[in-house]
């Protein structure tokens, strides 16, 4: 146990170092003195502080099951996001960026202020054809098309992203990690290729992540461990066609408490995401497919120690029928275990205590978005869902009474500056 505690302290130290770098980036950006650009017009924006922000208020109503709070009955207004983003470029090759976020989204995200990301970005090479640099701190994870832009309502294609790939219940784990990241871009007439690779320590200290990995709240502690993440993408110069391949190996350990029913086990999550998008003047089609490999090992618990592969896919169409109006139509599929698509095997393994429909989700979504002004956006969407695989157990503690077929309506008003 002493050795385990020492190991946890070492891991915490490693994460703290990179987190401190991120905090430093954010604090330096927010506390920057008056821009030198006022005194030196030719400084090309050096040392110029840029601050942006956004706020949104949402409403969610479901006929069964809870999502982002107690959404059954009269619905839930417990869906709120307020963000403040700052960036500073003290040197031509160095930029500091960070974001503070207040987010309320049910039991898994109960407000407060957190550092969503904060990092130092040093650009070694930047020519018309080539770019290469390095980031240190808390950085957004390059996964799929939408993960590194999911934090701002205006950069999401809908109020809720496709939950089969971009889970809201494990948002903190997915959004950003502490560590180092290399990035590069090659630009040519036939298109641009970008690549990112990072060695990181994932965020595993929130309640939703604990429940997602260990199935319920546990007396011990999850430990972050060295992990890896990367993405390579191609985009035509005019942005018409985009392709990407991204993946990660997320590692975590468990430090059990005294008299814990779980032993000191390890968890490994390895997602592989294939992404494709076609953009025309008035419409876009996007599809992403993911294999999600899970392995729980040495927990000494028959329902936890296992190895399985999940599967996700969605197809999404967006039509911009007026300059400031657009509609989205999407079909989204999620299977927790591709060898048990209907969940019956899992249902029997749990002595029929947990429903089979908790292992899959099929979501048909239709939404509308109105960009009333460049700063104000109103969105509404309807989901017809079969299955509950992406529901948060914190909002639905008794999964045995969840409804298989259910409806979700969401509305969101957003403002940015």
For range 118-122, the mean pLDDT: 97
Choose between 26 and 72: higher pLDDT: 72
pLDDT of residue 4: 40
Average pLDDT, the chain: 90
In percent, the amount of the chain with pLDDT more than 70 equals 89
pLDDT of residue 23: 53
Confidence label for 303 from pLDDT (cuts 50, 70 and 90): confident
Within a 10 A sphere around the Cβ of 276, how many other Cβ atoms?
14
pLDDT at position 43 over 60: no
For range 217-228, the mean pLDDT: 94
Class of domain 2-416: mainly beta
Within a 10 A sphere around the Cβ of 195, how many other Cβ atoms?
15
Give the predicted TM-score (pTM) of the model.
0.88
pLDDT at position 39 over 50: no
Q: Which residues have a Cβ under 8 Å from the Cβ of 105 and sit 6 or more positions away? A: 68, 69, 78, 79, 80, 168, 171
pLDDT of residue 36: 39
pLDDT at position 7 over 50: no
Q: Where are the alpha helices (DSSP H) in 60-198?
A: 171-175
Q: Please write the tens of the pLDDT for every residue from 179-216.
A: 999 999 999 999 999 999 999 999 998 888 999 999 88
For range 368-382, the mean pLDDT: 98
Q: Which residues have a Cβ under 8 Å from the Cβ of 253 and sit 6 or more positions away? A: 7, 11, 222, 223, 225, 264, 265, 266, 267
Q: Which of 305, 328, 322, 301 is nearest to 372 (CA)?
A: 322
């Amino acid at each position: 146990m002493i050795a385990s505690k020492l190991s946890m302290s070492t891991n915490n130290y490693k994460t703290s170092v990179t987190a401190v770098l991120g905090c430093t980036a954010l604090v330096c950006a927010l506390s920057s003195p008056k821009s030198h650009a006022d005194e030196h017009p030719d400084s090309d924006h050096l040392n110029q502080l840029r601050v942006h922000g956004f706020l949104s208020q949402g409403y969610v109503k479901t006929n069964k099951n809870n999502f982002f709070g107690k959404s059954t009955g009269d619905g839930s207004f417990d869906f709120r996001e307020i963000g403040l983003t700052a960036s500073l470029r003290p040197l031509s090759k160095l930029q500091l960026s960070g974001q503070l976020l207040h987010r309320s989204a049910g039991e898994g995200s109960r407000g407060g202020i957190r550092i969503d990301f904060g990092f130092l970005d040093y650009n070694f090479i930047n020519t018309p054809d080539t770019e290469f640099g390095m980031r240190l701190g808390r950085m957004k994870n390059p996964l799929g098309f939408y993960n590194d832009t999911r934090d701002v309502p205006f950069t999401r294609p809908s109020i809720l992203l496709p939950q089969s790939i971009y889970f809201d219940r494990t948002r903190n784990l997915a959004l950003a990690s502490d560590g180092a990241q290399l990035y590069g871009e090659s630009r040519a007439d036939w298109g641009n290729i970008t690549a990112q690779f990072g060695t990181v320590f994932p965020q595993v200290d929130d309640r939703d992540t604990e429940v997602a990995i260990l199935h319920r709240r546990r007396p011990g502690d999850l430990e972050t461990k060295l992990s890896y993440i990367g993405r390579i993408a191609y985009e035509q110069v005019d942005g018409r066609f985009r392709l990407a391949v991204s993946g990660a190996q997320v590692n975590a350990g468990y430090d059990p408490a005294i008299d814990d029913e779980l032993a000191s086990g390890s968890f490994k999550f390895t997602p592989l995401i294939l992404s494709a998008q076609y953009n025309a003047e008035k419409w876009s089609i996007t599809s992403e497919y993911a294999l999600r490999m899970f392995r729980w090992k040495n927990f000494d618990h028959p329902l936890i120690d296992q190895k399985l592969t999940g599967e996700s896919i969605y197809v999404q169409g967006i039509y911009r029928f007026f300059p400031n109006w657009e509609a989205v139509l999407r079909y989204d599929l999620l299977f927790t275990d591709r060898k048990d698509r209907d969940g019956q095997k899992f249902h029997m393994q749990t002595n029929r205590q947990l429903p089979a429909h908790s292992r899959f989700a099929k979501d048909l979504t239709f939404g509308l978005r109105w960009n009333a002004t460049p700063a104000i956006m109103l969105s509404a969407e309807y989901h017809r869902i079969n299955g509950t695989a992406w529901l948060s157990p914190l909002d639905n503690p008794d999964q045995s009474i969840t409804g298989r077929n259910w409806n979700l309506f969401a509305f969101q008003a957003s403002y940015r500056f």
